[in-house]
Amino acid sequence: MDEIAGKTQPQSGDMPFVVRGLVQRLRLPWLEAHHKRSHVLAVFGFISATLSIALMAALAMLTRTPFVFPSLGSTAFLIFYAPLSVSASPRSTLLGHLIAIGAAFFALLVTGLLHSGSAMGAPLTWPRTVAVALALGISSGLMIWWRTPHAPAASTALIIALGIVINPFSVLVMYGGVMLLVLQAIVINRLAGLAYPLWNAPPDAQ
């Protein structure tokens, strides 16, 4: 289990360890014995991504709220493909999206676009251009400064800065989706025997 504990990280990410742990715990060794590893990994990726986003999509449908948004897909891939990386830790995931939300609203506020509609489908104006640049720049800078890198959060900053989602309640629901995804990551990765952190990434991943 030393490998599964995450002391070494292969170039293919941590997914092989997650799958191996689940296979062992579910007593299905024939999967690895009779199928190529890439096929097993692909199936696991399909199942984990489908289930995680399906849950959010169902909540979105039932509550008519934006539990599902584009950058959530990137977060899901990251936390299941390389869960022991710094950027996939709950700390980076939760704080990264929170930083992006704050940066985007600040950018909209200083450019006077806080109560404007969506910029999608319309030519970009100079104020909107400044808002988008500020949102992404501030998000990137703060995530690096506070050591909470999470690339998908940059997309969250753009979603808000472009006015696609700016209603405070809707943004709160979006963040709730991130929290639910992190909870799923904890359950699935730990079920697999992987030492997925409850907050910070493992020391050797820093």
For 43-104, the DSSP string reads: HHHHHHHHHHHHHHHHHHHHHTS----HHHHHHHHHHHHSTTSGGGSHHHHHHHHHHHHHHH
Q: Across the chain, what does the average pLDDT equal?
A: 84
Only one residue has tokens 């959010």, namely: 56
Distance in angstroms (rounded) separating the CA atoms of residues 94 and 113? 26
> According to the model, what pLDDT value does residue 2 have?
41
Confidence of residue 110 (pLDDT cuts 50, 70, 90): very high
pLDDT digits 0-9 by tens, 130-172: 999 999 999 999 999 999 999 999 999 999 999 999 999 999 9
The answer on pLDDT for 198 being more than 80 is yes
pTM of the complete model = 0.82
